[in-house]
Structures are given as structure tokens and as C-alpha cells.
Amino acid sequence: MSGKQVYIFDTTLRDGEQVPGCKLNTEEKVDLAVRLEEMGVDILEAGFPVSSPGDFQSVTMISRTLKHAVVCGLTRAVQKDIEVAAQALKYAKRSRIHTGIGTSDSHIKGKFNSNREDILKRAVQCVKWARNFTDDVEFYAEDAGRTDNEYLARICEAVVNAGATTLNIPDTTGYCLPHQYGEKIAFLVNNVPNIDKAVISCHCHNDLGLATANAIAGVIGGARQIECTINGLGERAGNTSLEEVVMIINQHKHLGFYTNINPKLLNPMSRLVSDTMRMPVQPNKAIVGSNAFSHSSGIHQDGFLKDATTYEIINPVEVGADESKIVLTARSGRSALAFRLQQLGFTFNRNDIDVIYESFLKTADVKKEVMQEDLYELANAYQLQVSPVN
């Protein structure tokens, strides 16, 4: 691999599992964790151990099971949380404690009824507690997206001095525009004196549909870890989608980055998570939606059938999806109709297709999609018309 590595921190089992209706039991979590590790995630956030006995059990079992990925447990800036997380992570080959506190004025006043100096002390304290258990400590500055940059830089410097090795800069409310988030990361790179001792991580929410764009802007700004979930699951409108950032990095090689993810496993993984969490994937979802490789308008179908790269920037095989589909609707053209009929074993000449196309349009106008059985009917009716049985 050439270029700089972007670490993939998967939080499907923590932020993703917070989604109403997506709750998993320990067995389901362990199964997904094994598959996520096989797919190549570098760090796997297994849960929030102090939150419930079930989550404690899941983090413990994942810690016992995974072979090489770093297993991470979330905590608040509370000593008990950190001790419980350390307990759940104790069997992990490589463990990380993810601790932190809200740093925006909104969180400092509205949530903690506190002040910036007190929050800075609590931030340093929680990192020190966590360092008693592991030398891999990630600090999150919750709502960093709306935190004053100068203050955020002070906090980052202080927690790195206290032993944090990863700095998570969450856009918790999904508020930032991509250029603002990218500039925030670049500001930290340029203004935190000990920044070379830590990896900066992007954790972006999708409230304005910008989670993926923001994470990529963060990496361009100097971050080297992305926190993301399969199918973009997560609190409210979700998190950065793992499949999207991985394929953006793959497609735009000129950016000079790579990840460890095997892209062929993206679609199988998406289906597995969707089935296990009973959470359908929207059909138009990038990379893993059922329409991601379907072509339905005549102009697109004609171009695609002549040369797939005219309308596809990714070969579906590369991301483990089914082959591209030519879907027949009232917007489809003659070449798509001929192609689909040919797939069913009918070879008609251009004149035949012109005639069948007229009947096809009538069917297409009353149905959302012309299906295989409709095609058989159209083809058989035409054959009877041109050579009737006596």
C-alpha cells in the first residue's frame, strides 16, 4: 500500500447500536465483531461497559474473541466508568479506553453547569485515570464541532500531556460545514504544540447529511482516523458511513491515503448488519443500497450498455455487490429492452424491437417496473403476431 494510512475505527456496535430498535445481544455483537475484524477494521468500539450488564458482557466477550483489532470501550469522564471499562477490556490483546467530556460552551453550561477551566481539569483527570489501565487512551471532546478552536487546542495539548494518544474531535451535532470541520482539524495540527504525539480522529454525525464529507475534509486537514459505522447507522441521523469513506479514499488515490478495509466485504457486511439489526438500508444508499448499481433511464442505460464506465465509477464486483442491473421502466429505451430480452434468450432485429417497444411502453406506463414475466408476455405476444399458430 502506498500513501498514508487512515485508521478505520468502527463504532457500529456502540454509536450504531444506540439507534432505537438496533439493540443487539452479546452473541450478535460478537458475531458482527468477528466479521468487522475480518473486513479489516483497525479499532472496534465494542460498547459502553458501564451502561448495562449486557453491554459489559458484550465488551468482555469481544475482548476475549478478537485476534488483532484494537478493542475499545467508551466511558464518561467518571472514574467508575473507566474502572468498569478496564475490567471489561482486560482480556483484549490490544485495548483502548475512550474517555472524554463535552467542551462546547453549550455543553459546559447547559449540561455541566460549569466553566472552561473546570472542564479542562476534568478532561486531564479522566485521561490520567484511563492511563492507569492502558497506554492506548483516546480522548473525545464532545461537541468539538461547536467548540471554540483556541479552547479546543488548549484541551488537546493538556490531554496529550496527560497521556492521550488519540484525539477524537466529534462533530456531535452534525453542525459543521466540510470546510469548517477541515479547518478545525488543520487548526489543531498547527496550534497544538505536542500534536505529533497523538492521532487526530474524526467522529462526524449526519444531522445535515454532511457526516461523510466532513470526515473526508478532516482527513485532508490532517486527521488520520475516521470513526464510522456500517450503513451510516448512529444516533439521530447517523454517523459517517464506513463504506462511503473507504470507497472515497479508494477512488481518489491522488489524495494519498489508504485503509486496511477489504472493499469486497462491504456489501456482505452491510447486509449482515441490516439483517442482524433489522434495520433496512435505503435503496439509494451509496455503495450498498439496492439501487446503487441499477440503471433505469434510457440515456443512462444506452451509455452503460456501450461502456459501463460511462455511468459507473465503481465496478460492483469491487465492493461485493450483485452485478449491475438494467431496470425497465417507462423511462427506458430500446437498447435496454433489447438487452433484457436477449438475456432471456430472445434475439430480435431492430424492426421487431421497434414494434415490441410500443407495447412495452403501454405496460410500463401502468406498472412501476416491467418485470421478467412481463417481458416473456411481450415477446411471446409479438411472436404470435408475426407467426400465428394455425
- The residue count for binding ligand KIV (CB under 6 A) is 8
Which residues neighbour 74 within 8 Å (Cβ) at sequence distance 6 or greater?
A: 14, 45, 47, 48, 49, 85, 98, 99
**Cell 430480452 sits at which residue?**
341
Q: Which of 63, 95, 104, 172 binds ligand KIV (CB under 6 A)?
A: 172
Query: Is 168 a binder of ligand KIV (CB under 6 A)?
Result: yes
Nearer to ligand KIV, 129 or 140 (CB): 140
Closest to 153 (Cα-Cα) out of 106, 190, 108, 115:
190
> Rounded to the nearest whole angstrom, what is the least distance from the CB of residue 147 to ligand KIV in the complex?
11
Stretch binding ligand KIV (CB under 6 A), from 55-63, 80-88, 164-172, 251-259:
164-172
Stretch binding ligand KIV (CB under 6 A), from 29-37, 168-176, 349-357, 371-379:
168-176
Closest to 325 (Cα-Cα) out of 373, 374, 312, 313:
312
Q: Which of 47, 170, 182, 218 binds ligand KIV (CB under 6 A)?
A: 170
Choose from Zn ion, ligand KIV, none: what does 129 bind? Cβ within 5-8 Å by kind: none
How far, in Å, CA of 297 to CA of 179, rounded?
34
Q: Which of 29, 96, 154, 203 binds ligand KIV (CB under 6 A)?
A: 203
Query: Is 15 a binder of ligand KIV (CB under 6 A)?
Result: yes
> Rounded to the nearest whole angstrom, what is the least distance from the CB of residue 344 to Zn ion in the complex?
48
- The residue count for binding Zn ion (CB under 5 A) is 1
How far, in Å, CA of 105 to CA of 238, rounded?
23
Backbone angles phi and psi of 8, in degrees to 5:
-100, 115
Choose from ligand KIV, Zn ion, none: what does 37 bind? Cβ within 5-8 Å by kind: none
Nearer to ligand KIV, 218 or 263 (CB): 218
The contact pattern for ligand KIV, residues 226-265, with x = CB under 6 A and - = no contact, is ----------------------------------------
How far, in Å, CA of 300 to CA of 389, rounded?
38
Which residues neighbour 34 within 8 Å (Cβ) at sequence distance 6 or greater?
A: 65, 66
How far, in Å, CA of 14 to CA of 203, rounded?
13
How far, in Å, CA of 81 to CA of 74, rounded?
8
Query: Is 139 a binder of ligand KIV (CB under 6 A)?
Result: no
How far, in Å, CA of 57 to CA of 47, rounded?
10
Query: Is 15 a binder of Zn ion (CB under 5 A)?
Result: yes
Contact 276, 31 (CB under 8 A): yes
Nearer to Zn ion, 174 or 289 (CB): 174
Choose from Zn ion, ligand KIV, none: what does 300 bind? Cβ within 5-8 Å by kind: none
Identity (one letter) of the amino acid at 146? R
The contact pattern for ligand KIV, residues 296-335, with x = CB under 6 A and - = no contact, is ----------------------------------------
Rounded to the nearest 10 degrees, the angle between the axes of helix 178-191 and helix 149-162 is 50
> Which residues in 46-75 contact Zn ion (CB under 5 A)?
none
Tell me the CA distances in angstroms from 217 to 43, 140, 275, 342, 350, one per residue in order: 21, 18, 31, 46, 50
Nearer to ligand KIV, 102 or 221 (CB): 102
Stretch binding ligand KIV (CB under 6 A), from 167-175, 192-200, 248-256, 369-377:
167-175
Query: Is 142 a binder of ligand KIV (CB under 6 A)?
Result: yes
By CB neighbour count within 10 A (0-12 exposed, 13-18 middle, 19+ buried), where does 242 fall?
buried
Closest to 6 (Cα-Cα) out of 205, 288, 312, 242:
242
> Rounded to the nearest whole angstrom, what is the least distance from the CB of residue 14 to ligand KIV in the complex?
8
Choose from ligand KIV, Zn ion, none: what does 140 bind? Cβ within 5-8 Å by kind: ligand KIV
Interface residues with ligand KIV (CB under 6 A) are 15, 140, 142, 168, 170, 172, 203, 205
Interface residues with Zn ion (CB under 5 A) are 15
